[in-house]
Amino acid sequence: ILLVDFINLELACGEKLEEAVIKAGLVRFRPIALTALALVVGGFVILLDPIFQGLAVALISGVVVATALTLVVIPVLYYMYVRTVGVKAVVGHRQ
């Protein structure tokens, strides 16, 4: 949600769509990556416990997939969506 909102804010400021998506991705990359890294490191702690090993594998793989979706798939899909409906349709409600 924050990534899409950052894109919309950049579009409202007059940035081109491509630049807005890239700039929003750069701004949000560090917080997203650090959060994912903290969860993966926390998951490694319980990976050694035989009882919670399945939970750790699910946690770590879920975080890795969700991070990839957040950093790659969501911006690409949103870029395609905005390109289809137009920038004015997306940022027009802010004015």
Q: What is the pLDDT of residues 57-85, one digit of tens each?
A: 999 999 999 999 999 999 999 999 999 99
Calpha distance 95→77 (Å, rounded): 24
Calpha distance 39→23 (Å, rounded): 25
Report the chain's mean pLDDT, rounded to a whole number. 93
% pLDDT > 70, the chain? 97
Q: Is the pLDDT of residue 94 over 60?
A: no
Q: Is the pLDDT of residue 54 over 90?
A: yes
Q: Which residues contact 36 (CB under 8 A, 6 or more apart)?
A: 63, 64, 66, 67
**Which structure tokens are listed for 38?**
């903290």
Q: Write down the pTM of the prediction.
A: 0.83
Q: What is the pLDDT of residues 36-53, one digit of tens each?
A: 999 999 999 999 999 999
Burial of 72 (0-12, 13-18, 19+ CB in 10 A): exposed
DSSP 7-44: HHHHHHTT--HHHHHHHHHHHHHHHHHHHHHHHHHHHH
